[in-house]
């Protein structure tokens, strides 16, 4: 094999490698652009459904607001229900992002529960439209929710209950929470209390704010759980 042929093959390999790199970069940009467009659609749909409700807000109207063809929406979301589910998933991810620093902190169990409540209330106080969307979901009957949505909600509540139950078990083991406490039942009660306060907050915003809700949560829930009524303070 001559030096010229070796050089030619080496050059071909380099050229092929460079071509593959260019294709990968283009593919990455395409995926990024598609994800960005998907998020734009979700945020626009959130605003539309807050204004008009899920039933009244149409895919046609959403396409007009975005300045795209209706068919383009279905490239990203095969149905209106799939778009609705994407909105709820986005809300959940945002709330999880807010809660993550609390869950990874060194706070004691009861202080962690109080911080979870405070962070949740402050998130909804800053995102009233999100609160409105969740209320619409909770107010819907099973028949009006797609199967995927019902399954997602069930799993989300199971995950949240287990997260709270884990904190409660830790508190019982540490002697901070009353030993007779049933973690699963207490976790369900905490979720119901958080949800109920948020619903009333939306109905009567002038009567509620994050600080009042935290105070109610502390008085009704944490002081009842505490083995020592003062031990849940940070």
- What's the pLDDT tens digit per position in 101-145? 999 999 999 999 999 999 998 888 888 777 777 776 666 645 556
pLDDT at residue 168 in the model: 97
pTM of the full structure:
0.74
pLDDT of residue 29: 65
How confident is the model over 61-106, as pLDDT tens digits?
Answer: 999 999 999 999 999 999 888 888 898 888 888 888 989 999 999 9
Average pLDDT over every residue of 30-54: 84
How would you write the chain as a 3-class SS string?
CCHHHHHHHHHHHHHHHHHHHHHHHHHHHHHHHHHHHHHHHHHHHHHHHHHHHHHHCCHHHHHHHHCCCHHHHHHHCCCHHHHHHHHHHHHHHHHHHHHHHHHCCCCCHHHHHHHHHHHHHHHHHHCHHHHHHHHHHHHCCHHHCCHHHHHHHHHHHHHHHHHHHHHHHHHHHCCCECCCCCHHHHHHHHHHHHHHHHHHHHHCHHHCCHHHHHHHHHHHHHHHHECCCCCCCC
pLDDT score recorded for residue 144: 55
pLDDT at 56 over 90: no
Q: What is the mean pLDDT of the chain?
A: 82
- Is the model's pLDDT at 190 over the cut of 50? yes
Question: Which pLDDT belongs to residue 184?
Answer: 96
CB 98 within 8 A of CB 104: no
How far is it, in rounded angstroms, from Cα 33 to Cα 125? 31
pLDDT band for 207, please (50, 70, 90 cuts): confident
| Domains located in the chain, CATH noted | 1-77 (1.10.10.60), 85-234 (1.10.357.10)
Residue 24 has pLDDT above 70, yes or no: no
């Amino acid at each position: 094999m001559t030096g010229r042929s070796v050089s030619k093959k080496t050059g071909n390999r380099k050229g092929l490698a460079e071509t593959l790199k260019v294709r990968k970069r283009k593919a990455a940009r395409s995926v990024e652009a598609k994800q960005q467009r998907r998020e734009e659609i979700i945020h626009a749909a959130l605003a539309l459904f807050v204004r008009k409700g899920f039933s009244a807000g149409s895919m046609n109207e959403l396409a007009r607001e975005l300045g795209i063809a209706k068919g383009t929406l279905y490239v990203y979301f095969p149905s209106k229900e799939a778009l609705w589910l994407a909105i709820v998933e986005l809300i959940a991810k945002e709330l999880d992002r807010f809660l993550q620093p609390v869950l990874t902190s060194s706070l004691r169990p009861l202080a962690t529960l109080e911080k979870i409540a405070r962070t949740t209330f402050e998130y909804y106080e800053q995102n009233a439209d999100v609160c409105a969307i969740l209320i619409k979901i909770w107010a819907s009957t099973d028949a009006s929710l797609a199967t995927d949505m019902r399954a997602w909600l069930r799993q989300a509540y199971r995950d949240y209950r287990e997260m709270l139950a884990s904190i409660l078990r830790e508190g019982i083991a540490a002697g901070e929470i009353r030993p007779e406490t049933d973690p699963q039942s207490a976790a369900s009660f905490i979720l119901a209390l958080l949800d109920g306060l948020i619903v009333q907050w939306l109905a009567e915003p002038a009567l509620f704010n994050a600080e009042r809700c935290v105070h109610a949560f502390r008085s009704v829930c944490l002081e009842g759980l505490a083995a020592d009524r003062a031990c849940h303070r940070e």
